[in-house]
Amino acid sequence: GNSVTQMEGPVTLSEEAFLTINCTYTATGYPSLFWYVQYPGEGLQLLLKATKADDKGSNKGFEATYRKETTSFHLEKGSVQVSDSAVYFCARQGDSNYQLIWGAGTKLIIKP
């Protein structure tokens, strides 16, 4: 089927730790992939995206690489801050329409 699977949260880390949030997808082709972030009490913000295989999206110190071999788009950051505490959503573009298919979201908690 068409789905997006994210690692279950919450993920709790100390400040300056290395972050990885796993995201894998199923698809018949090579859809565009996205990471969105939702800070407490706010809407979703586009964090980064990748529109073709091996493409790397990056923003605010976060990176994710489109890996078609492993159908993955893991989110990474070298040194997290307390202000990165939020819920992170992985999504892929639909095949027959442009609607996004969403992961369940991963809550990230960064402790000082």
Partner 1 sequence: KAGVTQTPRYLIKTRGQQVTLSCSPISGHRSVSWYQQTPGQGLQFLFEYFSETQRNKGNFPGRFSGRQFSNSRSEMNVSTLELGDSALYLCASSLLEPGLAGGLVETQYFGPGTRLLVL
Query: CA angle 71-67-26, nearest 5°?
Result: 15
Site for partner 1 contains 26 (CB under 8 A): no
Of 9-17, 19-27, 51-59, 70-78, which part binds partner 1 (CB under 8 A)? 51-59
* Complete DSSP assignment for 76-109: EESS--GGG-EEEEEEEE-SSSS-EEE---EEEE
Contact 19, 10 (CB under 8 A): no
Q: Decide: helix, strand or coil at residue 1.
A: coil
- If the CB atoms of residues 21 and 78 are measured against partner 1, the closer one turns out to be 21
Site for partner 1 contains 42 (CB under 8 A): yes
Closest CB 32 distance from partner 1, rounded Å: 5
Residues of span 70-109 touching partner 1 by CB under 8 A = 89, 93, 97-100, 102, 104-105
Nearest Cα residue to 5 out of 27, 21, 26, 23: 23
The site for partner 1 (CB under 8 A) is made up of 30, 32, 34, 36, 42-46, 49, 51-53, 55, 89, 93, 97-100, 102, 104-105
